[in-house]
Amino acid sequence: MMGSDTIAAIATAVTNSGIGIIRISGDEALRIGDQIFRAKSGDKRLSGQKAYTVHYGTIWDQGEMIDEALALVMRAPHSYTAEDTVEIDCHGGVLVMRRILEAAIRCGARLAEPGEFTKRAFLNGRIDLSQAEAVMDVIQSENQYALKNSVSQLRGSVSRRVKELREKLLYEIAFIESALDDPENISLDGYAAQLSETVCGMKRELARMMETFDSGRILTEGIKTVILGKPNAGKSSLLNALSGADRAIVTEIPGTTRDVLEESIRIRDISLRLIDTAGIRDTEDVVERIGVERARQAAEEADLILYVVDGARPLDESDQTIIRLLEGKRALVLLNKTDLDLIVTQEEMKERTGHEVILLSVKEEKGLEELEDRIEALFFAGEIDWNDEVILTNLRHKTAVEEAFRSLELVERSISDQMPEDFFSIDLMDAYERLGTIIGEALEDDLVNEIFSRFCMGK
């Protein structure tokens, strides 16, 4: 246990609401609870109550009753922080919550820093660092896929996989050290070939984890979706139709959209960072030309391109430019204005682009459901086993896995160069320590503090 001072904070949003929660955690939490809480049923003190009990009463500060409330008692080590904890459930007025918090501070608590409750859970060994980071991911989840993955990590999916790999590494390190210390009884004959096979298997596992990062990023950040097309093809109308709001100005005047416009939306429980761009064409207008260049840059960085084609107008050089931008990219071609007589056919666009073509009429809102089906199939085909699948969403975790992978490559090089076994041990230990940073072992205090500073107050 940390054995540190007692902290307190408002654990719910600081805005008027139905209820509010003030959380108090630390060695003095129960004593402070006794000072500010009076039970309705006689002279009952919180410090004398069992864990996981709820008590009805009133909150007092300097002889004045502040509010009626419920007090929850949790005792170490069976609480969120693994410390004695009292939570006050009160009416959700901002003034009421602040008065109760001030009362707790007057009785000896100090105001908690952002993320300090979760930091204490980590330092007290109740959760590891990857699980602590998953707590914030759960709070910030914007879609069902991201939430499921965050909950999976909170339950230890990343931790378990990392610990399994570290156990294998530790076994090999211990074997080498034991053999070097006692060569008469422990032989290293043929060990290099055996270790090479083991390292190769661990590298495959790490490579699979690294490959999940792009999918993990899309889960948490959303699909960066860029809408391309020449002027008046229907790009801004598509943005408005998908977002359900008039976010982009729509006129018959070419060049109305001159800059990148971004909107976050959800379809089929998938987050999309939808980006409307200037119509791609040659133009003498300086401002519009800058917008066209930004559209090209956005296309380069996109996870998905939606190419809107005006099916009622012949293809021209602007369309050819856009088609070249689609090369090597994940894209859907939207043949728009099917409510008019089409000049461009679905077969022609598929042949020219090599991408799937969807018939669309943004004006009549036809084809939007099929578009949503295809986006879902492109990125989330099949079901993910959230209990076992490890999907990296944290750049810090990915970096640690990459560093461990490189250390194992050095082990393979040492084996290939027929180096002494103690060289194997050095790089195996480095891989062990790199993976340890994911779960919070061998991590500098400054980095730990920086990680928890990103948390919201009260968590």
- Work out whether strand 17-25 and strand 85-92 pair parallel, antiparallel, or are unpaired: antiparallel
**Structural domains of the chain, with CATH:** 7-126 (3.30.1360.120), 131-212+391-439 (1.20.120.430), 221-380 (3.40.50.300)
The alpha-helical segments, DSSP class H, found in 182-223 are 191-211, 213-221
Question: Phi and psi at residue 224, in whole multiples of 5°?
Answer: -75, 105
**459 vs 455: CA distance, rounded Å:** 7
Q: Which tens digits make up the pLDDT trace of 272-317? A: 888 877 666 555 555 556 666 777 787 888 889 999 888 888 988 8
Q: Contact at 8 Å (CB) between 271 and 146?
A: yes
Report pLDDT for 193. 92
**34 vs 93: CA distance, rounded Å:** 23
58: closest CA among 73, 43, 38, 42? Answer: 38
DSSP 391: -
Describe the strand order of the beta sheet including 7-10 as a list of residue ranges.
Answer: 37-39, 53-61, 64-74, 85-92, 17-25, 7-10, 110-111
Report pLDDT for 252. 46
**140 vs 300: CA distance, rounded Å:** 27
The residue count of the chain comes to 459
Handedness of CA 120, 126, 129, 130 (dihedral sign): negative
State how far Cα 394 lies from the chain centre. Answer: 6
Report pLDDT for 94. 95
Per-residue tens of pLDDT for the chain, all 459 residues: 444 799 999 999 888 999 999 999 999 999 999 999 999 987 789 999 999 999 999 999 999 999 999 999 999 999 999 999 999 999 999 999 999 999 999 999 999 999 999 999 999 999 988 888 888 888 777 777 777 778 888 888 899 999 999 999 999 999 998 988 888 888 888 899 999 999 999 999 999 999 888 777 777 778 888 888 888 888 888 888 887 755 443 434 344 444 457 788 887 777 888 887 766 655 555 555 666 677 778 788 888 999 988 888 898 888 888 888 888 888 999 999 988 888 989 999 999 999 999 999 888 889 888 988 888 888 765 444 444 567 888 889 999 999 999 999 999 999 999 998 888 999 999 999 999 999 988 666 777 777 788 777 777
The token duo for 223 is: 């699909």
Q: Contact at 8 Å (CB) between 331 and 353?
A: yes
Query: How many Cα atoms within 13 Å fall on the side-chain side of residue 127?
Result: 22
pTM: 0.73
Three-state SS for 197?
helix
Specify the residue for token string 């640690």: 400
The H-or-E segment that residue 332 falls in is: strand 331-336
**170 vs 307: CA distance, rounded Å:** 52
